[in-house]
Structure 1
């Protein structure tokens, strides 16, 4: 199978449709969490109060109070804003359904709700970066290509330095995550007494959010993240990965939300490094290599110079690891000679 192309390009007309969705998503400001729903009115004695009724990330009916009473200028204005958001979200969803039929990557509803609350608190604007397989899906869409997707229940959020945030609740990141309507709980540390660096949905589900920061070496330390009232796991070469990032768009059947993702070439190179670090995790290592080579194939064939630039910024200590991965890269890129040549030249093979 390695002699087959790793990706297909979307038609330009479809890429234009996606670009229109991205533009509309960026104009939303605060996004609705869950399905758009409707605005309803409830009587309390002689007064009428407003609520937004919607399906949450787990497919359960939920109500959000919009205040009141009806006739109060502030309450009526707030309702008008929400109704406009609902209409905008419904329009986005109708366009996203068409993109899903065309093979664009669609996130699940729980991931969308999680990204929505993080966006609403300004994490991505402040510099937090979505990494991992969900970032890969966003990058595939933005690059206009179709490739094998990987279902994952992991959400990885990284930050390089302290985020300038306002309005973070007293409960920190955990309280923010609970605004999704999902019952998140801290995951106990590896050693007894270690602070949690991950939050998972309560119960048997494996859906969870990991917080990551750069490690100064090849170790995985636990680091305090004071602005979020949380701790994070250190990851080698993460500073390289998130040293260049840009805003993208995560799309789902509940809407679209702006997120920050890494530069695609750095994403590819970092995935290769991570595949070498995960020597005892064969399945994840293979997934990392597959995602890396899809990115390399597209960039080498349609964005010449991106791989070379990303490799020029690679830490010196990482170059031997990248070279050791060459046999696997050569096998994966068998059908993409131009991309392989640029990668080999860029790492000095």
Structure 2
């Protein structure tokens, strides 16, 4: 597995900081422009925003002789220039640096949700779109075959959704702003609430949350007050995945700041999920991708000397009980001998660094 040049890893860190610094553009987004207008002999500033139908929506800003308004106008030009610079950085990171850009649909969806406040409300991007971010986060080149996707998965802890006392705008409106063909998918339980949305091309956006009770609740959607009218499907083992997530960048357009699972937790979780895939339909293909992604991360964590984190995550999962150990063993048993070697070596090395005992899922 090839490492990404330190220059590009440094560039990614700078891109992340500059993107966070530009968060104020929610009021005056970069696609709009300030426009002066004379009203009864006095000059005012307005802000024109494309309405998506070939026209514009005009927003009043204030009098042109207001120093604060003048500063906003100057800052907007500066931020537009910065956006162009950030786009050049994203292009450099993906075309020259070996990092991964998402497909256009995934990128547009995540960007729309991020701009609306998803990650401010402590949502976590999971699944393959999150996996695409690990190339830059870990500083390694990941093969494209392991990152192709036709969906986006979003998770939020149930308690957080109820406690933040804030919400995204209506999810269906956000998604239809990306593609008007997005529609709610009827829930398999027959409940009125939807936890998934799909467009005419079959691209699916799904919301998940941690399971709060027995497996009897798994088939019932959970009401999520912070998700703009969307519900979420409870999922076993999800609380482990989204605990202590990390911030990074999705390399789309000028860069989208996102929150993703810790890569060590993602890898362990993928083994467990693989062991529980159905053997019909798309189950086998998804299981193969789960195992492949986990194996690539084990190799990357070993190569980048992050085995201590992996050993901590593994031991936490292992100690959660028989169902967890069974899932890890079954998932590990699906890996190739070479991948098992990476996993074993990483766990042993991490345990030594942590000065703790570790029980390997496939023996010594």
TM-score under structure 2 length normalisation: 0.79
Equivalents in 2 of 1:123, 1:174: separation in Å?
14
> Contact conserved, 1:30 with 1:119, CA < 8 A, in 2?
no
* Residue of structure 2 equivalent to 1:319: 325
Equivalents in 1 of 2:10, 2:300: separation in Å?
18
Asked if 1:154 is matched to 2:145, the reply is no
Equivalents in 2 of 1:156, 1:190: separation in Å?
17
Q: CA deviation at 1:242?
A: 0.7
- RMSD (Å) for aligned C-alpha atoms: 3.3
Equivalents in 2 of 1:148, 1:133: separation in Å?
13
**Helix, strand or coil at the partner of 2:251:** strand
User: Structure 1 pair 186/77, CA: closer, same or farther in 2 (3 Å)?
Assistant: farther
1:1-349 equivalent positions in 2, closer than 5 A = 7-30=1-24, 36-37=30-31, 39=33, 41=35, 49-53=46-50, 63=56, 65-68=58-61, 71=64, 73=66, 79-101=73-95, 102-149=97-144, 150-160=147-157, 161-163=159-161, 164-165=163-164, 168=167, 172-180=170-178, 182=180, 184-201=182-199, 204-215=200-211, 216=213, 219-228=218-227, 229-252=229-252, 254-280=253-279, 281-301=283-303, 302-314=305-317, 315-316=320-321, 317-331=323-337, 333=339, 336=342, 338-339=345-346, 345-349=358-362
Equivalents in 2 of 1:72, 1:210: separation in Å?
48
Equivalents in 2 of 1:111, 1:271: separation in Å?
21
> Contact conserved, 1:155 with 1:210, CA < 8 A, in 2?
yes
Unaligned 5+ residue runs, structure 1? Answer: 1-6
**Helix, strand or coil at the partner of 1:258:** strand
Q: Post-superposition, which runs of at least 4 consecutive aligned residues in structure 1 deviate over 6 A?
A: 42-48
User: Structure 1 pair 185/153, CA: closer, same or farther in 2 (3 Å)?
Assistant: same
> Contact conserved, 2:309 with 2:350, CA < 8 A, in 1?
no
Q: CA deviation at 1:79?
A: 4.3
TM-score under structure 1 length normalisation: 0.82
Q: CA deviation at 1:81?
A: 4.5
Higher relative contact order (CA 8 A, sep 6+): 1
Equivalents in 2 of 1:178, 1:156: separation in Å?
17
Equivalents in 2 of 1:21, 1:306: separation in Å?
25
> Contact conserved, 1:308 with 1:346, CA < 8 A, in 2?
no
> Contact conserved, 2:35 with 2:47, CA < 8 A, in 1?
yes
> Contact conserved, 2:191 with 2:220, CA < 8 A, in 1?
no
Unaligned 5+ residue runs, structure 2? Answer: 352-357
**Helix, strand or coil at the partner of 2:133:** helix
**Helix, strand or coil at the partner of 2:208:** strand
**Helix, strand or coil at the partner of 1:210:** strand
* Residue of structure 2 equivalent to 1:3: none
Equivalents in 2 of 1:44, 1:20: separation in Å?
41
